């Protein structure tokens, strides 16, 4: 039931503080601020490589997780979209963990990749939202997201819950490998537990986002820029906008702009910049200036500090709470989801059932 919401997608966006808290609750122990994964019957500390395979939004969650596995556990990570994975003849060495991320647990390409990895002797981990799904049944390590049923075709709450699970897994692996001290683990857990409240503060800006949607709705093309773990969020923002508003959108790593896409910039192409203040901020801002110098119209999504420093001359800004970099990808998911949602509402498209799309893609 939609309750007071106009669409399932909107309801699911607003459920995120609750369901992310639920998911974190099952992977973190608040009593001593530690990560507590389900019983694992293989040696996580012996894993020497991770191969992540997924599609669409779940793939972007995997892209964020790559930063975490490498940063925390110092384990090399390969990542592919499932439809490309098998056909490039991937080298799967002994001691590898193959990790499949899927809301439905039924996506045909991802499931086929899972079976391929299983046959190749990889340990199989899955992050799925449907615990009775095919992927869940075939896993050595099942890590459910507790997002509850997702009805809107565009994935929202499943994504942030996937991120929550993946952050916990990366920290746990780092601890097992002796790469993360007890104090660092507690620190990571504390930051993760701040996520639900920060998601709530992000949702407080719903009205601001609704009132700027008319600036984006007439555009034919929109670019999204981000750096580091916020780069996958730029990709996710572009995907959300494409699928429900039918506006052509692309996400780019901010630094790639000058290698081509900047040629597209004119006053008709809005550029959405995701830039939490922090170590990567200055670099992103200088990419943003390159856009502005060419007449580009920028929407900056940042925190108070970032907006104060670089918010001038933007056609609009969206203020996020100041958050630890670890949880920024979860929190910044909210404004990109809401922006796509409100633009689609302005355009009057069928938000929950966008044309040509199915909730679960069970054919290759
Ligand atoms: C985007 C979206 C799709 C799915 C993709 C994978 O909003 O919903 O891109 O993320 O089809 O689906 P799952 O996660 O069920 O494997």
User: Does residue 233 contact residue 333 with C-beta atoms inside 8 Å?
Assistant: yes
Instruction: Evaluate: CB of 81 within 6 angstroms of ligand 1.
Output: no
Token representation of residue 234:
């730029």
For the chain, give the percent of residues with pLDDT over 90.
87
Mean pLDDT of 185-193: 97
List, for residues 274-312, the tens digit of each pLDDT value: 999 998 999 989 999 999 998 999 999 999 999 999 999
The pLDDT of residue 85: 96
Count CB neighbours of 54 within 10 A. 28
Count CB neighbours of 229 within 10 A. 22
How many Cα atoms occupy the beta-carbon half-sphere of 330 within 13 Å? Answer: 35
Give, in degrees to the nearest 5, the angle at Cα 195 between 75 and 192: 35
pTM summary value: 0.97
The CA R_g of the chain, rounded to the nearest whole Å, is: 20
Instruction: Evaluate: CB of 56 within 6 angstroms of ligand 1.
Output: yes
Mutate to test the pocket of ligand 1, among 58, 134, 150 (most ligand atoms within 8 A of CB): 58
ipTM: 0.99
List, for residues 227-268, the tens digit of each pLDDT value: 999 999 999 999 999 999 999 999 999 999 999 988 899 999
Q: Hunting for tokens 């916020």 — which residue is that?
A: 230
């Amino acid at each position: 039931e939609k309750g007071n919401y106009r669409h399932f997608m909107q309801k699911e966006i607003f459920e995120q503080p609750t369901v992310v808290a639920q998911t974190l609750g099952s992977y973190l122990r608040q009593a001593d601020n530690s990560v507590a994964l389900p019983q694992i019957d293989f040696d996580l500390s012996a894993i020497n490589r991770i191969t992540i395979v997924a599609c669409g939004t779940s793939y972007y969650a995997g892209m964020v997780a790559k930063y975490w596995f490498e940063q925390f556990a110092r384990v090399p990570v390969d990542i592919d979209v499932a439809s490309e994975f098998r056909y490039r003849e991937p080298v799967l060495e002994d001691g590898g963990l193959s990790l499949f991320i899927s809301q439905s647990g039924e996506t045909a390409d991802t499931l086929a990749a899972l079976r391929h990895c299983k046959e190749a002797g990889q340990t199989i981990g899955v992050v799925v939202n449907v615990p009775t799904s095919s992927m869940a049944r075939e896993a050595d390590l099942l890590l459910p997201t507790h997002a509850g049923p997702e009805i809107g075709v565009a994935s929202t709450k499943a994504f942030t819950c996937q991120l929550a699970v993946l952050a916990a897994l990366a920290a746990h692996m780092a601890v097992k490998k002796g790469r993360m001290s007890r104090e660092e683990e507690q620190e990571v857990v504390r930051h993760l537990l701040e996520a639900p409240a920060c998601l709530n503060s992000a949702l407080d800006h719903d009205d601001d986002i609704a009132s700027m949607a008319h600036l984006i709705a007439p555009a034919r093309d929109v670019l999204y820029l981000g750096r580091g773990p916020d780069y996958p969020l730029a990709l996710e923002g572009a995907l959300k906008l494409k699928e429900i508003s039918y506006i052509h959108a692309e996400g780019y790593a901010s630094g790639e702009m000058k290698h081509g896409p900047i040629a597209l910039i004119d006053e008709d192409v809005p550029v959405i910049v995701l830039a939490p203040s922090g170590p990567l901020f200055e670099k992103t801002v200088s990419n943003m200036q390159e856009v502005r110098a060419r007449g580009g119209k920028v929407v900056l999504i940042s925190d108070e500090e970032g907006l104060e420093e670089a918010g001038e001359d933007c056609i609009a800004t969206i203020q996020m709470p100041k958050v630890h970099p670890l949880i920024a990808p979860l929190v910044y998911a909210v404004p990109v989801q809401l922006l796509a949602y409100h633009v689609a509402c302005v355009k009057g498209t069928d938000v929950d059932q966008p044309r040509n799309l199915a909730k679960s893609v069970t054919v290759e």
